[in-house]
A and B are shown apart, each in its own frame.
Chain A
Amino acid sequence: MLTSMTLVFHIIFATIGAGVPLLICAAEYVGIRKRDPKYVLLARRWTRGYVIIVAVGVVTGTAIGLQLFLLWPTFMQIAGHVIGLPLFMETFAFFFEAIFLGAYIYTWDRFKGRYTHWYLSLPVVIGGGMSAVFITTVNAFMNTPQGFTLEGRTITSVEPIMAMLNPATPSKVFHVLTSSYMTSGAILAAITAFFILKYGNNAYYKKALKLTMIMTLIFSIFTAIAGDASAKFLASYQPEKLAAAEWHFETEKGADLILFGRLTEDNEIQGAIHLPKLLSFLSFGDFNSEVTGLDKVDEDLIPPLWIHYMFDLMVCFGAFGILISMLFIVFMFWKKRDQYNKWLLRAIVVNAPLAMLAIEFGWIYAEVGRQPWILRGYMRVAEGAISSPYVHYVFAAFLVLYVLLGTFVTLVLVRLYKKNPIQKEWEMRFPDTLFGGDQK
């Protein structure tokens, strides 16, 4: 419970932490390339908020790192032999990112070369991406463990690289990276759209929205591709997870994909939309392939069936993101429609929390879907956890901390941008040019 709470909280910051540097880097690059200070200013303003998010990400990340040992000592004693390498490497990636983030923030006006400062953003993007990659391999390992031999409760031989490059790794890493870039794009777009709705449009916001929406579209398409790859992976390696998500009780050929609906107590599906044979296609790329159902899974090894809702919501929110960003881009080129119309802007605002929820639901689906295993096929959750009467107090203390931090982060961020609106900062930095006037 405590671990899941910490994770749910950490994922918000980790997603932004891994994704936003790419957007900052892109904005600064476009700015330098086009010699347009508006983009550079955009990068700068994003960075300021980003640092605060990273700070909270760092502390929640530290919390998880240590909680692994505090709350799952038995699990770590065994798995620690195998997952030590990626976790250790993740720390290095994070170190790399931390070093250069500091350097990036404090050297805006120090260099003569146009690109020198921008180069500093590259290690931040790489470091953020790499730490996501390494940590995902650990999670992938827990889903499809390999690369070690277990005799009783002792590990006798281990191949660290094999364990890292397990079957779940490629699709997971791909999905995690693309979705975090997509979500970061969606969040920054939503902020911009919100400001346009509130304070009216101007050249700066237009540029910000254009950049973020293009990024969102690109990465949401990639996310969808990655999601499809993940489903195909699940069908082959973890059929019980996919079957539970799709309420697929009987093994059959040409299986239906089930959207929404409700499950009665004796496992009857009500009010669902059946898409014939799509599940087979989703699983193996062939409408008539055979999909393993829950009847092939041991009764006490079936994951909770409510993960179906998580799965559906994740997919729907993802699809919504693609739709919105696509509409925006289409309107941008199709002159008859205004891409800044109020309804579209509102939809863009709504899209950000939905994208974040999709990430959370996706993780819940992925994690709850491998219950009751903590190490699929090797160790159950109950065997790995600590049994201590103090866990409740610790849980309460962390809950209070997260609620406090969540509120403070929001307050501080809102104040940061309210106190220093873009017009003011523009006039301070470039006193000779009018804000509304475009250079070109």
Chain B
Amino acid sequence: MNYEILGLSALWFFLFAYLIIASIDFGAGFFAYYAMQTKKDHILNRLIARYLSPVWEITNVFFIFFFYGLAFFFPDAGYYYGSAMLIPGSIILLLIGIRGSFYAFENYGSRKSKLYTFLYGASGLFIPAAIATGLTISEGGFIRHENGSVYLRHQELLTNPFSWAVVFLAVVSVLYISAHFLTYYANKAGDEPARKLLRSYALFWAAPQIIASLTAFIFISRQNPEHYDNMLDLWWLFGISVLFFLIGIYLVYRERNYGLSFICVMLQFFFALLGYGIGHMPYLLYNEIQVTADATLPAMGIALLIAFAGGLLMLIPSLILVMRMFLFDAEYVKGKK
């Protein structure tokens, strides 16, 4: 069934886009708070606010796209994850609620407040951790059937080392991606102190990032050997990923080509996520939901794909317009507009 594969690719793409965009956003919130605690906020805050203010809402949309896409292309997956994620999902929502609102209060309201920055920064680290539980659950073994309904085995989830490895990976990756992007952005803005500070963050988070990736990788072998074997067959994708990781770090270390280095970071995650995703096939949720068996009806699948293509036709030019206005407009980035 072709539309399922197309739908799945679209989903995968949104997951990747969300990973990058949200990481920048979440990490920036944390760095803003960290800088405030270490009395370096005057260096960072203006830069971060200039980037984030026009785009933070867009981040949320990618998230909605992803879970709507998953649930509408594969309604059974929506049912299983929906039932199982009641608690983690609600926590994600509470955090997103706090974060979005206090971001707006902080930046469009009239008063800067430590409390707002704290709520904003802290929630930025908890959200990826909570979302990561979704990935953990997808490996299977955390779901219990009872009276015809589906429940999550919270106890197992919380005591399993694998789920903590995933959480650790999520948080560290957020900080790593974000620091790289902000270094690039600071460099573009010609903001020397911010660039230096952010570069040190980027280098600092490199080691934990790669360690966390490997740890999670190893734990998958215990949690879900089948998935692990599939991923080993795709070893070369992960090899490319590691290669890009090294290039990215090298470029930042040599203090040049920050743009290229950020592209390397993106490619690093692109290939890692690609390997992870292909290895995950054909299950959406291990041993419960297969891609082919549980997709939506063809008429709806095709309608969704048409809507999707139409939407992208409209969105991509708009996104380019906004990026040219804010991200790549040298005058704006430097704060002259």
Contact = CB atoms under 8 A, between A and B. Distances in A.
B100 interface: yes
B308 interface: yes
B82 interface: yes
Interface stretch (A26-34, A60-68, A242-250, A372-380): A60-68
B90 A397 contact: yes
Contacts of B108: 48, 51-52, 55, 416
Interface string A101-117: 11101110110000000
Nearest to A101: B57
A381 interface: no
Contact of A99 (B79, B94, B318): B318
Interface in A112-162: 123, 155-161
B86 to A, nearest CB: 5
Contacts of A56: 100-101, 104
B130 to A, nearest CB: 12
A401 interface: yes
Given A66-B89, A84-B72, A77 B61 contact: no
B97 A59 contact: yes
A70 B109 contact: no
A91 B96 contact: no
Nearest to A414: B110
A105 to B, nearest CB: 7
Given A65-B64, A91-B65, A106 B326 contact: yes
Q: Classify the interface of chain B: helix, strand, loop or mixed.
A: helix
A155 B149 contact: no
A55 B64 contact: no
B94 A84 contact: no
Contacts of A48: 108
B300 interface: yes
Interface in B48-98: 53-55, 57-58, 60-61, 63-65, 67-69, 71-73, 75-76, 78-83, 85-87, 89-90, 92-94, 96-98
Given A77-B78, A159-B299, A98 B57 contact: yes
Given A69-B81, A81-B75, A107-B325, A412 B61 contact: no
A388 interface: yes
A101 to B, nearest CB: 7
B260 interface: no
Given A55-B101, A73-B82, A88-B68, A82 B311 contact: no
Contact of A96 (B60, B103, B314): B314
B319 interface: yes
A80 interface: yes
B105 interface: yes
Contacts of B151: 388
A394 interface: yes
Given A84-B72, A88-B304, A159-B299, A419 B110 contact: yes
A424 interface: no
A1 B111 CA distance: 35
Contacts of B300: 81-82, 84-85, 158, 160
Interface centre among A55, A101, A123, A158 (most CB of B within 10 A): A55
A77 B75 contact: yes
Contacts of A390: 86-87
Interface in B179-212: none
Contacts of A157: 297, 299
A99 B101 contact: no
A102 B318 CA distance: 11
A51 B108 CA distance: 7
Contact of B97 (A68, A82, A123, A405): A405
A221 interface: no
Given A99-B319, A398-B94, A88 B307 contact: yes
B253 to A, nearest CB: 34
Given A56-B104, A398-B94, 5 more contacts: A84-B304, A92-B315, A99-B58, A102-B58, A387-B147
30 contacts: A51-B108, A52-B109, A55-B108, A62-B100, A69-B85, A69-B89, A73-B80, A76-B82, A84-B68, A88-B307, A88-B311, A89-B311, A91-B68, A92-B315, A95-B61, A95-B311, A96-B314, A96-B315, A100-B318, A102-B55, A110-B337, A159-B299, A388-B149, A405-B101, A409-B105, A412-B105, A412-B109, A412-B110, A415-B109, A416-B108
Top 10 nearest A-B pairs (CB, nearest first) are: A84-B72, A55-B104, A69-B82, A102-B54, A92-B311, A98-B57, A73-B82, A77-B79, A59-B100, A160-B303
